Structure 1
């Protein structure tokens, strides 16, 4: 009895393998650079979101432990736990009789890269954000800085959380600008995001820095520059845009 031989192919020819490999290489050459650009394009936003999460964790731990916590950035010639001078440092006052004796917090939630590669915090501002403070931050923070019992760079004061979780208003300015820039160099050409914490309530949101013409618009209309909602749109705001943002903002807690 004759049996028919199967006509199915048992494998691929060398030419087919070469063609498929070449096609995959072409696709990778096109896709990978675009993917890298996309990842780099979201690094600033991701860094700001991770910093927000860390601030919220610091506040929560202060409440749970009933102790003072603070978040700060490395001083000059000081390193963080990642071996860089970029990542925030978390400290706790363990002895209520020594409220200014700070101990480094080394728990797992403090580890990791909060600010991604090329992102860094160029400035920390204390106090409720106003146009006057934006235009002259050092003079406007004189009172807040005077209340600190340690000497700190006025551009990087620590943000202290009390045992009930309350803290002063604080603004963390995150950017991908070159590290040799200073807050005095910041203008409309320097992309940056502001992680804003309403200290008394603990609410934290992220908004891009307002442009000079937008600050003029807010000043002319007597509007507060705190949006109380996330805002990343790079387009210039019109008066109608601001009114819509204000309608969708979360009402102040205090």
Structure 2
């Protein structure tokens, strides 16, 4: 005689269901902030790498076309070609003989797109080769830049002056400070947020990424009279010691 075995699944009680949902909610609350921070970190580094590529592209096109190009970021109330106000604007001096200093927007596909990823913007563009003294006195540096812009009759903010590429593709030294801080954050308050600096040695075309130096690191560079120019990517949060700096210099020399 065959017997049928019957099995029944006990349903969750209301208390058990609420308990499971509560556990999932707690785990999500613990993991989500770290997950969001991880995404932001990748967006910031990805944006920095794309700015590096854009600088190389602008220099190459200036050299190929034999005319000057200009890269800048939108001023207050100005839109970029994506309809926002974060992406770099690429402009070209189309007729240097008849219309010198007149730069027109470049609308070629390579010049349009999301160079800066969501939540990332350029808070500052610094002119000149960085030194420990300059980095420890940024307010004076910004004032000097404003004076230079006033003399050149350029209506650009001292925080983000334009980068002009000559017809041979070269330009000066520039540092682009990218951050995921809320838009409009004052420069003095940026130290509370993640930042990556894109350093551009315009006369050679070299571009590399660095995190901002800590105060004790700048003191070390100044004490040893060492250059703060690494010419290689450095994003580690570890505080640099004297041995670390010497090792970085050695790696650069051997490359």
What are the residue-to-residue correspondences of 1:53-202 with 2, within 5 Å?
A: 53-97=53-97, 98-134=99-135, 135-136=137-138, 137-141=141-145, 144-146=148-150, 148-187=152-191, 189-202=192-205
Aligned-residue RMSD, C-alpha: 2.4
Matched, 1:48 2:58: no
Are the structure 2 counterparts of residues 144 and 197 from structure 1 closer, same or farther at C-alpha, using a change threshold of 3 Å? Answer: farther
The residue number in structure 1 matching 2:14 is none
Are the structure 2 counterparts of residues 59 and 194 from structure 1 closer, same or farther at C-alpha, using a change threshold of 3 Å? Answer: same
Report the TM-score when normalising by structure 2.
0.81
CA contact under 8 A between 2:133 and 2:222: conserved in structure 1?
Answer: no
Q: Which runs of no fewer than 5 residues in structure 2 stay unpaired? A: 1-8, 10-23
Instruction: Measure how far apart 1:249 and its partner are.
Output: 2.0
Are the structure 2 counterparts of residues 133 and 37 from structure 1 closer, same or farther at C-alpha, using a change threshold of 3 Å? Answer: closer
Instruction: Measure how far apart 1:186 and its partner are.
Output: 3.4
The residue number in structure 1 matching 2:245 is 242
Which shows bigger deviation, 156-165 or 140-149?
Answer: 140-149
Which shows bigger deviation, 56-65 or 175-184?
Answer: 175-184
Report the TM-score when normalising by structure 1.
0.81
3-state SS of paired residue (1:91):
strand
Are the structure 2 counterparts of residues 169 and 146 from structure 1 closer, same or farther at C-alpha, using a change threshold of 3 Å? Answer: farther
The residue number in structure 1 matching 2:5 is none
2-side partners of 1:152 and 1:144: how far apart?
Answer: 11
Count of aligned pairs between the two proteins: 224
Are the structure 2 counterparts of residues 128 and 61 from structure 1 closer, same or farther at C-alpha, using a change threshold of 3 Å? Answer: same
1-side partners of 2:93 and 2:177: how far apart?
Answer: 26
2-side partners of 1:224 and 1:215: how far apart?
Answer: 10
The residue number in structure 1 matching 2:221 is 218
3-state SS of paired residue (1:170):
strand
2-side partners of 1:147 and 1:172: how far apart?
Answer: 23
CA contact under 8 A between 1:87 and 1:113: conserved in structure 2?
Answer: yes
Bigger helix share: 2
Are the structure 2 counterparts of residues 151 and 37 from structure 1 closer, same or farther at C-alpha, using a change threshold of 3 Å? Answer: closer
Instruction: Measure how far apart 1:148 and its partner are.
Output: 3.7
Which shows bigger deviation, 144-153 or 223-232?
Answer: 144-153
Instruction: Measure how far apart 1:216 and its partner are.
Output: 0.8
